[in-house]
């Protein structure tokens, strides 16, 4: 049953696993991504495969992290339109190696001349059994100011909390690096282009499509001294894309820390955290559903509520600040979560709740 399309009856959006019928909506959404996104290239065949891969990842008998790649969408409940997407990779590496540049500091010392300098050097790093990764985050621009990006991002942490056997103990996030107004990556132009003979977007998309062999064959085999790079390239190492600034702030508020690793294409930063220490994971509680009239009507939705099923659903809701074990939901919200009175749900208040 479709819930009433009013703010009081149900949340305007529901977070859920992607399904085959989402392909057209996901394709339309991806077309809006400026500068492209490696994990979501504008390629309908790839997106269809990504949905099928996600459906397989929800196989009930998964007991250890492996090649699973979970893809979620944020659905507008009134129209069924896909307005956002985000994903989780159970473990990076495996069949496809995971590449980064690791920054190490080398000392150059010569006492007779009083020279003692520290020089950052980029080392190519290849991992075959890495941590989990959150990925593929994108929200339609018209919904960003309303704060729905929190639901799209943080709901993943509730799913990981509920299914710890499916993920590693730590999780990373690769954020898009700086791209200039001309669509070029200063880092790629200095480091990658001379070897790959391809523009940044082409190489990035090839990697996103799973073509990793060219990286091993063509990437520079020796460490790269940062001081020898052009100033434009040096200045963007670890710099985040403007569209990803809000995502970075949200992740840092959850407990992610900057590492000494960056993306090999655009030098975007790599953040890392222990899943158990994430704010949403630590703050999450179990509660019992109580349906009725809208709680605190007119107040902002101050937290996130999720069902406990493998067919995961989450919404933003108005939650009481006191922890009394009950989660008040409207009938429409319960319908979106596919729960009923007396069912158990997980919930957590947003950090900025007032």
DSSP string, 154-192: HHHHHHHHH-GGGS-SEEEEEPPB---TTS--HHIIIII
| CA-to-CA dists, residue 8 to 11, 12, 21, 203, angstroms | 8, 9, 27, 47
Percent helix, percent strand, percent coil in the chain, to nearest 5: 30, 30, 40
User: No. of H helices and E strands in the chain?
Assistant: 11, 15
Token digits of residue 201: 């977007």
At residue 256's C-alpha, the angle toward residues 76 and 204, to 5°, is 70
* 3-state SS, residue 161: helix
Contact by Cβ (8 Å): 18, 85? yes
Q: How many CB atoms sit inside 10 A of residue 21's CB?
A: 10
Q: How far is the C-alpha of 283 from the C-alpha of 131, rounded, in Å?
A: 22
Between CA 212 and CA 204 the distance in angstroms is 10
Angle at which helices 148-162 and 245-254 cross, to 10°: 40
Strands (E), 22-92: 69-76, 82-89
Q: Which of 298, 290, 294 is nearest to 347 (CA)?
A: 290
DSSP 177: B
Residue positions annotated with a catalytic role: 241
Six-digit token string for 36: 């492209």
Q: How far is CA 57 from CA 54, 67, 83, in A?
A: 5, 8, 22
Is residue 242 within 8 Å of 144, Cβ to Cβ? no
């Amino acid at each position: 049953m479709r819930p009433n399309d009013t703010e009081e009856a149900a949340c305007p959006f529901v977070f859920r696993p992607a399904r085959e019928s989402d392909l057209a909506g996901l394709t339309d959404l991806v077309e809006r991504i400026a500068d492209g996104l490696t994990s979501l290239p504008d390629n309908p065949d790839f997106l269809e495969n990504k949905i099928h891969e996600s459906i397989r990842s929800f196989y009930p008998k998964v007991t250890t992290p492996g090649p699973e790649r979970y893809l979620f969408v944020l659905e507008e409940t009134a129209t069924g339109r896909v307005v956002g997407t985000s994903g989780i990779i159970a473990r990076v590496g495996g069949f496809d190696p995971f590449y980064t540049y690791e920054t190490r500091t080398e000392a150059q010392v010569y006492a007779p001349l009083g020279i003692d300098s520290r020089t950052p050097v980029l080392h190519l790093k290849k991992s075959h059994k890495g941590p989990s990764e959150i990925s593929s985050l994108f929200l339609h621009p018209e919904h960003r100011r309303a704060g729905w990006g929190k639901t799209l991002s943080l709901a993943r942490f509730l799913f990981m909390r509920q299914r710890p056997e499916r993920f590693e103990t730590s999780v990373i996030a690769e954020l898009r690096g700086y791209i200039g107004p001309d669509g070029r990556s200063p880092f790629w132009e200095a480091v990658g282009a001379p070897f790959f003979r391809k523009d940044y977007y082409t190489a990035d998309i090839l990697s996103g499509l799973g073509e990793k062999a060219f990286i091993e064959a063509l990437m520079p085999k020796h460490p790269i001294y940062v001081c020898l790079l052009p100033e434009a390239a040096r200045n963007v190492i670890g710099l985040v894309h403007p569209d990803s600034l809000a995502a970075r702030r949200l992740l840092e508020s959850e407990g992610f820390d900057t590492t000494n690793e960056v993306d090999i294409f655009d030098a975007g930063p790599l953040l890392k955290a222990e899943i158990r220490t994430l704010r949403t994971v630590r703050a999450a509680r179990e509660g019992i559903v109580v349906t009725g009239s809208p709680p605190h009507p007119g107040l902002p939705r101050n937290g996130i509520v999720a069902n406990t099923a493998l067919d995961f659903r989450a919404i933003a809701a108005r939650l009481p600040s006191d922890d009394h074990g009950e989660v008040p939901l409207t009938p429409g919200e319960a319908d979106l979560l596919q729960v009923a009175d007396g069912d158990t749900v997980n919930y957590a208040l947003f950090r900025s709740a007032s």
